[in-house]
Amino acid sequence: MVDTVKLLIPINDPMILSNGMAFAPLTVGQLAGSRGTNRTYLNPSPTYAKMGKYMPRLTLHRRPNKTIGISYQLAVEFSAPKMLFKQNFDELTEADFRALLTALREALHELTGHQFFPQQLANADVGSWHPSKNIVFLDYTSCQTVLNTIGKLDISRTYDLQRTNFRDGHVIHIHCNSLDIAFYDKMADLRRAKVSEKRAFEKDNAIQLSLFDPLQEISPIEVLRYEVRFVGRNAVKRAFPDIKHQTFEALFKKQLNQDILLEHWDKLTSSVDMLSLDERRPYELFQNYLIDNPDATPQASLAAVAALLINGQEGVRNLRNLLEARYSPDAWYRIKKLLKTPQPNRFTHFQHVDEALKQFTPTRMSEYLKYIE
């Protein structure tokens, strides 16, 4: 439903945060005595991840205020599912909100020594909000198939585009003026994070690297991650204009986040000619053949695609004559077994994403572990 959240919490006295690990008394004292706008940070220690704890990122802002002189605001940024589940394969529902508040309060108390009230967090303004959905494939579909197709779309016709990043075939990150849209292969991203956190697209993977091990045992499984990212209060307000106050509790609603994800998916794919997704070009044909024949060797798969393409251009008689003239009648009968045109799977992949967004059933690890053979 939602992943990354940034809450903006007014703080009357910054010294209440000085008894814990987040902001040392000296740092807060300097902040309080400084002039103009200022800020101080806490990025959680890697020790927490080693202990199996997920912690939010904190930023204390100091700003001049014409009415009260100086105002302080604590920005609390965190992955909501990681805060509650220690990973973001499992997705949140509205029923998880109170448990999420409890987990967040405990983490903030450990970092700052200050006890925040549940309603203080629930009523906090939202500075960033990332609706998200995991799309799970269990039919030998490759996420790269969907990513490649999305990468070919004329995105600039739909959005005020700044730039688009394509990372080694496993990430598409669309940067717009008012929002970011990201699609990525979650399994591939976890593999990269195991090598180096810096190589992964997603942040704070250390806490969930153990997630990779049971998922690896599920065969076949691919997980396409889809996120729409609103960064900044103005972007959040534009995204949810019908909500009077964009607070944590007000935005933590299934329908709101589902509608946002569907809206941008429909915008991106409205110009897609679904029937042309499975045109008989070598690459598309090869992808579909691999899905229909998961046990085929690389050599047999490539031979089958080559035979299908030649058969389509020259006809079966010319292909047979060529093989029998160069080799023997037996060669033709071996190749003949491979001449089965694969199903138009690329079209069904897009349908699967569309259906998953419309159903919006939260993914749960426990539901997929039963597929382990």
Distance between CA atoms of residues 61 and 17, nearest Å: 13
Lowest-pLDDT range of 39-53, 125-139, 232-246:
39-53
Distance between CA atoms of residues 363 and 144, nearest Å: 21
Q: Where are the alpha helices (DSSP H) in the chain?
A: 25-33, 46-50, 80-85, 97-112, 118-122, 143-151, 186-195, 212-217, 233-239, 248-251, 254-269, 282-292, 298-314, 316-326, 329-336, 345-359, 365-369
What is the pLDDT averaged over residues 269-286?
A: 65
| pLDDT above 80 for 360 | yes
What is the pLDDT averaged over residues 107-125?
A: 94
Per-residue DSSP letter, 294: T
| pLDDT band of 272, cuts 50, 70, 90 | low
**In sequence order, what are the residues at sequence separation of 6 or more whose Cβ sits closer than 8 angstroms to the Cβ of residue 297?**
none
- Rg of the chain's alpha carbons, rounded to an integer? 26
Residue 162 has a CB neighbour count (10 Å cut-off) of 10
Helix (H, G, I), strand (E, B) or coil at 372: coil
Residues of the chain with pLDDT > 90, as a percent, come to: 37
Burial of 145 (0-12, 13-18, 19+ CB in 10 A): buried
Domain boundaries, the chain: 2-269, 277-336
- What confidence tens digit (pLDDT) does each residue in 245-270 have? 999 999 999 999 999 999 999 888 87
* pLDDT of the residue at 275: 44
Q: Listing from the earlier edge strand, what are the strands of the sheet with 125-137?
A: 38-42, 57-65, 69-79, 2-11, 125-137, 222-231, 180-185, 171-176, 161-167
- What confidence tens digit (pLDDT) does each residue in 7-64 have? 999 998 888 887 655 565 556 556 655 666 788 888 888 888 888 899 999 999 988 8
Structure tokens at 303: 């031979």
Lowest-pLDDT range of 164-168, 176-180, 207-211, 254-258:
164-168
* pLDDT of the residue at 344: 64
**In sequence order, what are the residues at sequence separation of 6 or more whose Cβ sits closer than 8 angstroms to the Cβ of residue 54?**
48, 78, 79, 82, 83, 86, 107, 204, 207
